[in-house]
């Protein structure tokens, strides 16, 4: 049995100190989970297995939590279950009690004071379990599972509000809105690097980049140099998996064994996972 030798909170601190980002891969089933973990172990990279509320409903909380617990025993790299864009405080509490070790409370659709109030409830509860808490200030546009934010409703993070927000909520990491979006981009994304620099000057905790699918590697690595310590990847994983699956089934219309037709999707997904780990500069960090 392999034992975790670092907590999620300690991992975030290590990433900030050594200037890499923890890749957070959104998982949806056993096949994606195993593909992520096999690649992470191969490259000796820590990872977060991220689950949105939709994924929790689809997989079932007990199955999800226990699959991650098995991964922690089977793979020789740090891995944690991360709750991604969860809005229900009660659901977060229940999943923390079941074993989630990193959580994101997303109250970014509320006004500043309400966001603080809700986030503070989660940090107060999470401290009892030594669970890392992420929150968002500002709002990303785009679509991720059940979360849909129109571009007109997206808001950039205010650097000076960020400092107050971090101080009053006592969160462990801050998701920033600097021009990224969930899903893939139409055209070249315009990322506000100067805003990220300003936030990093005002805030000492690790920063998080959402909406990284489709961003150029050099741009992501520049954000890591400026304080980003966690990068979320979701859409590119799904696209790779379904591309491999669809190609195989088109070429083999009579195929009926998932052990065969899942494999091309898994192989393509692993290639994306490897690219993103290298992009995050997290490879070799746990060797």
Q: Reading across the β-sheet that carries 141-144, which strands appear in turn?
A: 147-149, 141-144, 181-182
Q: Which of 14, 61, 84, 192 is catalytic?
A: 84
SS3 sequence of 121-158: HHHHHHHCCCCEEEEEECECEEEECCEEECHHHCECCC
150 is catalytic: no
In three-state secondary structure terms, 116 is helix
Pairwise CA distance, residues 101 & 104, whole Å: 10
8 A C-beta contact, residue 233 and residue 220: no
8 A C-beta contact, residue 64 and residue 34: no
Place of tokens 């991604």: 84
Give how far Cα 167 sits from Cα of 38, 86, 89, 172, Å.
38, 21, 20, 10
Pairwise CA distance, residues 277 & 23, whole Å: 6
Pairwise CA distance, residues 132 & 32, whole Å: 24
Q: Which residues are part of the catalytic machinery?
A: 84
């Amino acid at each position: 049995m392999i034992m975790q030798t670092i907590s999620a909170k300690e991992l975030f601190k290590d990433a900030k100190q050594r200037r890499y980002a923890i890749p957070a891969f959104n998982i949806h089933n056993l096949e994606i989970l195993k593909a992520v973990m096999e690649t992470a172990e191969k490259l000796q990279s820590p990872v977060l297995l991220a689950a949105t509320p939709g994924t929790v409903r689809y997989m079932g909380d007990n199955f999800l939590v226990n699959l991650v617990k098995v991964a922690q025993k089977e793979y020789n790299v740090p891995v944690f279950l991360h709750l991604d864009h969860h809005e229900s405080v009660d659901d977060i509490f229940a999943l923390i009690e079941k074993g989630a070790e990193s959580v994101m409370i997303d109250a970014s659709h509320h006004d500043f004071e309400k966001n603080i109030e809700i986030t503070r409830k989660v940090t107060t509860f999470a401290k009892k379990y030594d669970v890392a808490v992420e929150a968002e200030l500002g709002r990303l546009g785009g679509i991720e599972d059940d979360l849909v934010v129109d571009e007109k409703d997206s808001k950039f993070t205010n650097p000076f509000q960020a400092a107050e927000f971090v101080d009053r909520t006592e969160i462990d990491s801050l998701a920033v809105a600097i021009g990224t979006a969930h899903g893939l981009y139409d055209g070249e994304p315009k990322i506000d690097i100067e805003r990220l620099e300003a936030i990093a000057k005002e805030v000492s905790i690790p920063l998080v980049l959402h909406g990284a699918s489709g961003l150029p590697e050099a741009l992501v690595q520049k954000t890591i140099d400026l304080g980003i310590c966690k990068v979320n990847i979701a859409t590119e994983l799904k696209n790779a998996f379904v591309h491999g699956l669809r190609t195989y089934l088109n070429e083999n219309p009579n195929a009926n064994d998932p052990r065969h037709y899942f494999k091309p999707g898994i192989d393509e997904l692993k290639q994306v996972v490897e690219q993103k780990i290298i992009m995050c500069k997290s490879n070799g960090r746990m060797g």
